């Protein structure tokens, strides 16, 4: 993997960006989580990418809130009997090293071979808190993906699937195929998925310009819930970033001029539009319908 430049050449490069902001959050006195290995994985590459992006305060806030939401989803699922977590497109996630979960839990990470190799090299001397298995797998390879799912399903009693930062980069056809494959697993109890409205994706494209041209969001159905329902999944819990931030007491820390602009815009925003804005992004727990 590249480790010095600030260009995002592919979706997997965004993992450095995410890891950098997790390391930044970890250093806060009021941190929403602690990820002491994030900086080791992000390296100079993660910092360079973050510094090249506009409105870094927004990306930092999103990563902090989304990480906490998913941590909470995972804890709840494990407390309710999940014994296996399948993390697809795991990137530089370190939950097996940092989360206080039962030693009996099985955690499986799947990602591109070069991502797994980089991670194993950087974390070779670290110890996990529960059983971790890494699988080198291109999820676009349908046969390899289905083999991974079948093997995992056969060994799990109650399975949770995590696709943090994965689904938005797929086409609708690819998400449909993934949903159908996961829906065929009789031990799958839940699936954690990103939620973004088409309007928010369009705003992201305007803000980032060409910086993410090699990693665009492609999944933007008009009816997000309806899409997953048609493929056998229903959302039982959606936690929106803005609402969760209010609950956690973590508003976006933005420069004063930007803050004043947001305040001015909100003054002329209808109640309905304001509600849509607050519910434009989040993370959902899906369960088999």
Residue 122: count other Cβ atoms within 10 Å of its Cβ: 15
Asked whether residue 6 is domain-assigned, the answer is no
Q: What is the DSSP letter of 85?
A: E
Asked whether residue 255 is domain-assigned, the answer is yes
Look-up of token digits 């998913």: 70
Q: Which domain holds residue 194?
A: 11-288
In the chain, how many domains are there?
1
* 197: Cβ contacts below 8 Å, ≥ 6 apart: 224, 276, 279, 280, 281
Q: Which two tokens stand for residue 252?
A: 């976006």
Helices (H) and strands (E) counted in the chain, each on its own, are: 12, 7
Asked whether residue 207 is domain-assigned, the answer is yes
Which of 7, 9, 67, 13 minimizes the C-alpha distance to 42?
A: 13
Q: pLDDT tens track of the chain, all 289 residues?
A: 434 567 889 999 999 999 999 999 999 999 999 999 999 999 999 999 999 998 899 999 999 999 999 999 999 999 999 999 999 999 999 999 999 999 999 999 999 999 999 999 999 999 999 999 999 999 999 999 999 999 999 999 999 999 999 999 999 999 999 999 999 999 999 999 999 999 999 999 998 888 999 999 999 999 999 999 999 999 999 999 999 999 999 999 877 776 667 666 776 667 666 677 789 999 999 999 9
Asked whether residue 4 is domain-assigned, the answer is no
Asked whether residue 1 is domain-assigned, the answer is no
DSSP code per residue over 16-39: HHHHHHHHHHHTSTT-SS--TTHH
Classify 173 as helix, strand or coil.
helix
Rounded CA separation 77/33 (Å): 18
Q: Which two tokens stand for residue 161?
A: 């699937």
Asked whether residue 5 is domain-assigned, the answer is no
pLDDT for position 2: 39
Asked whether residue 2 is domain-assigned, the answer is no
pLDDT for position 197: 95
Calculate the CA dihedral of residues 53, 57, 58, 61 and round it to 10 degrees: 130
Asked whether residue 175 is domain-assigned, the answer is yes
Sheet holding 106-111, edge to edge: 131-136, 106-111, 84-88, 159-163, 188-196, 281-288, 233-240
- The answer to whether 138 and 166 are in contact (CB under 8 A) is no
Q: Which two tokens stand for residue 124?
A: 């070779």
CATH of the domain at 121: 3.40.50.150
Residue 240: count other Cβ atoms within 10 Å of its Cβ: 18
Number of residues written out for the chain: 289
Query: Where does residue 18 rank: exposed (0-12), middle (13-18), buried (19+ CB within 10 A)?
Result: buried
pLDDT for position 257: 72
Classify 162 as helix, strand or coil.
strand
- The answer to whether 67 and 38 are in contact (CB under 8 A) is no
Residue 143: count other Cβ atoms within 10 Å of its Cβ: 7
């Amino acid at each position: 993997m590249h480790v010095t430049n600030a260009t995002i050449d592919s979706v997997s490069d965004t993992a450095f960006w995410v890891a950098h902001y997790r390391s930044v959050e970890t250093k806060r006195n009021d941190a929403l989580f602690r990820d002491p290995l994030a900086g080791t994985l992000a390296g100079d590459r993660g910092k360079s990418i973050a510094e090249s992006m506009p409105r870094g305060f927004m990306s930092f806030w999103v990563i902090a809130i989304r990480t906490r939401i998913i941590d909470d989803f995972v804890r709840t699922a494990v407390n309710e009997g999940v014994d296996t977590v399948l993390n697809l497109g795991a990137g530089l996630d370190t939950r097996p090293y940092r989360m206080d979960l039962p030693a009996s839990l099985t955690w499986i990470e799947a990602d591109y071979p070069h991502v797994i190799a980089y991670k194993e090299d950087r974390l070779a001397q670290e110890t996990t808190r529960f059983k971790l298995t890494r699988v080198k797998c291109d999820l676009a390879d349908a046969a390899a993906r289905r083999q991974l799912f079948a093997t995992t399903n056969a060994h799990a009693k109650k399975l949770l699937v995590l696709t943090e930062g994965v689904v938005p980069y797929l086409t609708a056809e690819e998400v449909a195929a993934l949903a159908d494959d996961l829906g065929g697993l009789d031990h799958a109890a839940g699936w954690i998925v990103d939620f973004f409205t088409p309007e928010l994706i369009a705003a992201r494209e305007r803000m980032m310009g060409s910086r993410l041209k090699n990693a665009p969001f492609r999944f933007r159905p008009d009816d997000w819930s309806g899409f997953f329902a048609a493929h056998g999944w229903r959302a039982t819990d959606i936690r929106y970033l803005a609402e969760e931030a209010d609950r956690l007491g973590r508003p976006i820390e933005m420069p004063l001029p930007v803050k004043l602009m947001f305040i001015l815009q909100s003054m002329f925003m209808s109640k309905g539009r304001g509600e849509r804005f607050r519910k434009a992004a989040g993370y959902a727990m899906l369960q088999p319908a």
